[in-house]
Structure 1
Amino acid sequence: MSNDLIQALGEIEKERGIPKTALIEAIKVALNTAYKKNFGTAQNVNVELNEITGAVQVFAEKRVVEDVKDARYELSLEDALEQNPNISLEDIVTVEVTPANFGRIAAQTAKQVVIQKLREAERSIIFEEFAEREGEIVTGTVQRIESRIIHINLGRTEAIMMPNDQIPSETYNIGNRIKGYIYEVKNTAKGPNILISRTHPYFLRRLFELEVPEIYEGLVEIKSVSREAGSRSKIAVNSVEDNIDSVGSCVGPKGIRVQNIVTELSGEKIDIIKYDRDPENYIANSLSPSKVLSVTVNEEEKTARVIVPDYQLSLAIGKEGQNARLAARLTGWKVDIKSESQFQEENDFDG
């Protein structure tokens, strides 16, 4: 090796921010390992890298003896005196033992170390970048699909979408451009592991933040989201200012804003609910599109009895109980829905 290596390490320090001293120390460790691998595992050998010239030398500690029995560990007194006339028997001396072809091995080793360190630095940069973006929406291209796990190219790195994070009604093909919500970024030995989801409730929340300027500007706030991905969602919104229609802002002119989100979610139905501090009003709103006659709440048990017109019962409950289930998740209240006639029958029976 030569001074070119030292200059290259200096450039890497400037451009990538990897300390030159750290690179040199890593190369030294790797050179010692490479020597022992190629020339023996003697423990008293040390490989040195000149931090100015880039020269590599191998030194061994040897005991000065009268009669050499193992040249790896011993040096004759005659040879030792040629180096230093003050040497005595049983002294430990340091002798250069650089093999003739070690320069080539050293150059290859240094190159491998530098490449590895650059990879580690790149992984660290990518991890830090995406760790800061946790909770955001990203757009990428489906790169490959393995065991139902979708690998998405994000440019400098890739993200993965597990089966549970995929909308059941959607089909993903290689080359498709898709959006996803980053919900976790892990740092692993192989680099950052970026997990994205299209089923996460916060994916819907972020889509509304991107689509509705009033939400982005803080004029309308999202109070709660409940979602059964690919089928139906409910989102409760509240206006910070009295002159702003929270639901209308989310729907948009001619419904364009919510329709854009529905399209992104492959037709998922979205109920936009007006939040109300009064739990009775809030629960009644949450059962949209059903009409509600009355709501009676039990504050202690966090339960609510809801009365709806007879012809609205199936709509209020929803297919397989979905509407009622989503309303309960949205509000945080356990909801018991009765039709008007059911309620009257119960009261007549009690009477």
Structure 2
Amino acid sequence: MIKELAKVADELGREKGISRDILSEALKEAVTAAIGRKIGKYLEPDVEVDLEKGSIEISIPKEVCEEVDNKWYEIHIDDAQAYKEGAELGDVIMIPATLEDLGRQAALVAKQKLFEKLRDAEKQVVLDDFQGRIGEVVNGVLLKADRDNLIINIGKTEALLPKREMIPGDFFNRGDYVRALLLDIKTIKGWPQLILSRTHPEFMKKLFEAEIPEVFEGIIEVKSVSREPGDRAKVAVYTQNSNIDPVGACIGLKGSRINSISNELRGEKIDVVEWSPDTVKFVCNAISPADVVLTNVFEDENTIEVVVPDDQLSLAIGKKGQNVRLAARLTEWRLDVLKESEYAEIRKERLAAQEQELKDFYVLYNLENLEGLSDEDISKLIEAGIDDIEKLSNSSVDEIIAYLELEEDEAVQVINKAIDYLASKLEEEGIFEDEVPEDVDLDDEDASVEEEEAGEED
């Protein structure tokens, strides 16, 4: 039984990658626990494990006495002489024993405890070996499959490939080779469970590193990936080396390089486009194979308007919107695709709206609306760059004095008239309360300007 336990421990250790020191300690603790179960924990046995020799030496402490009431705790003085010369009554000496001596129950307890210890050790080995490998590609062999998951043997442990992380069309038989991305390590019922994925964009990025030497060496960089697994993907690549075509290098001669990646992904079609620091250029590359006539960028809305020829609208959008959807994920911009004829109508409407806004602004802020300004004053202000009432309200007293050749109090009155006019218009538009703080009294603007000027004089 002892040799059997040592052999089992050694084989499991090699299989799971557990060091011999950990194995020896686990086996020692298991045997000690079995002995304690038999003779009581208050007597501490000596257990020495040697996995190289496949031996386990056990010694149990027993007290020397004249009459033996319990063979596990006591030894007759005559028998004690064989283990310790000159042994005396009351001495405690270590007596060799075996698991067979302790009985079948103790041996089973030792075996059970050993497996518990090895499982704890294996858990730590899994965490130590794989915690730093999240995001890497691992290779394994299919052990078994159920309705929701595949169990993959990846060497020292097993990993889980959920059906949701499999490419549509993936089919594996028991014993088949499986390649996947180590996506995460989750703790399930106290045990670390490795989760794999074949659908994550990072998996395609790692395949580019594996199949394309320039990507592996860092000459070409994979900037971003967007996928609809098993169907189509877009990959943006970039290089600072002007002598290298990053797209051509990734595709390879007659598509040899990209085809090997596509075959791994169940025939997934891969569009390789060139990344650019120029957002507009990158978007134009991403929307390929359609040509782009012009673009409009709306940064506040994180949106780019893409205009394409009328006959290429379906090409730009793709089947069920796939092309533009992948391009949007790749560039991280919302893309609105319009055909030229449609955009021409929209542009007319926008120009008309802008023209009306300018007219409304001119009508509202025209200097001619301000009482007390002569045509000559208006001309002087326009020449100075103050061509509307709003600019006039923001001007300084010194500027107005210089431009209109007025006295200080007259310049203050001109500015205050502009402020009063704007306040009245804001009130008429119903935005007075929203734009002006509650603690500001526009009726006191004259005083405010005068106080400001007085402060400057001081």
SS at match of 2:168: coil
Structure 2 regions of 5+ residues with no counterpart?
49-56, 64-69, 71-87, 91-96, 353-458
1:28 aligned to which of 18, 29, 32: 32
Please tell me whether residue 49 in structure 1 is matched to residue 45 in structure 2: yes
Match of 2:282, SS state, is helix
1:16 aligns with 2:12: no
- Match of residue 197 from structure 2: 197
Report the 3-state secondary structure (helix = DSSP H, G, I; strand = E; otherwise coil) of the residue aligned with 1:135: coil
Taking the TM superposition and a 5 Å limit, the aligned residue runs for 1:135-150 are 135-150=135-150
C-alpha distance in 1 between matches for 2:149 and 2:114: 33
Once residues 288 and 103 of structure 2 are traced to their aligned partners in structure 1, the CA distance between those partners, rounded to angstroms, is 77
Q: Which amino acid aligns with 1:306?
A: V
Q: Note the aligned Cα RMSD (angstroms).
A: 3.6
Query: Does the Cα contact within 8 Å between 1:328 and 1:334 map onto a contact in 2?
Result: yes
**Equivalent position of 1:106 in the other structure:** 106
Q: How does 1:227-306 map to 2 (within 5 A)?
A: 227-306=227-306
* CA-CA distance at 1:131 after TM superposition: 2.6
User: SS where residue 134 of structure 2 aligns?
Assistant: coil
Which structure has more RCO (C-alpha within 8 Å, separation ≥ 6)? 1
Instruction: Output the TM-score relative to the length of structure 2.
Output: 0.59
Tell me if structure 2 keeps the 8 A contact 1:230–1:267: yes
- Cα 1:21/1:171, change in 2 over 3 Å: closer
Distance 1:45 1:226, change over 3 A: closer
Which residue of structure 1 lines up, in the alignment, with residue 80 of structure 2?
A: none
Query: For residue 271 of structure 1, what is the amino acid of its counterpart?
Result: D
Go from structure 1 to structure 2 and tell me whether the alpha carbon gap of 1:149 and 1:45 turns closer, same or farther (over 3 Å shift). closer
Task: Return the structure number with greater strand share.
Answer: 1
SS at 1:18's partner residue? helix
Q: Is the 8 A contact 1:221 1:239 kept in 2?
A: yes
* Secondary structure at the counterpart of residue 272 of structure 1: strand
Cα pair distance change 1:210/1:133, threshold 3 Å: same
Q: Distance in 1 between matches of 2:324 and 2:25?
A: 64
> Mean Cα displacement is larger for which, 149-158 or 304-313?
149-158
Partner Cα separation in structure 1 for residue 25 and residue 179 of structure 2: 42
Partner SS for 2:292: coil
Question: Cα distance, 1:21 vs. partner?
Answer: 5.7
Distance 1:330 1:194, change over 3 A: same
Q: Structure 1 residue 57: deviation in Å?
A: 5.2
Gaps of 5+ in 1: 37-43, 60-70, 72-81, 85-97
Q: Distance in 1 between matches of 2:4 and 2:306?
A: 80
- Give the residue type in structure 2 aligned to 1:320: K
User: Would the alpha carbon gap of residues 336 and 117 (structure 1) be closer, same or farther in structure 2, given more than 3 Å must change?
Assistant: same
Q: Which structure has the bigger radius of gyration?
A: 2
After TM superposition, the score normalised by the length of structure 1 is 0.76
Change (3 A) 1:169 1:107: closer
Structure-2 change in CA distance of 1:30 and 1:298 (3 Å)? farther
The question of whether the paired residues in 2 share the 8 Å contact of 1:3 and 1:55 is answered with: no
Structure with the bigger percentage of helix: 2
Q: 1:58 to 1:247 in 2, by over 3 A?
A: farther
- 1:284 CA drift (Å): 0.8
